[in-house]
Amino acid sequence: MKLFLAFTTIMVLTACTSNDVPKQSNRTEVQAECAKHYAHISDEFSRGSKIKSCMRNRGAL
């Protein structure tokens, strides 16, 4: 059990420190999904901030 816990901890820490960047196509897809979700917001600044936040939350930024 301790070995499993140690292995899991190492895997989580490795994933957290990974600096892999998503592919551009994935970023484009995420941006399109986020933009579609916030299309109802008429203020461009607010909509852009929400889209950027959405992309960041999904790991595309």
Give the integer Cα–Cα distance in Å for 49 and 46.
5
Neighbours of 53 (CB within 10 A): 13
- At 20, is the pLDDT very low, low, confident or very high (cuts 50, 70, 90)? low
Look at residue 18 and tell me whether its pLDDT is greater than 70. Answer: no
Q: What is the pLDDT of residue 39?
A: 95
Give the integer Cα–Cα distance in Å for 3 and 23.
34
- At 17, is the pLDDT very low, low, confident or very high (cuts 50, 70, 90)? very low
Look at residue 9 and tell me whether its pLDDT is greater than 80. Answer: no
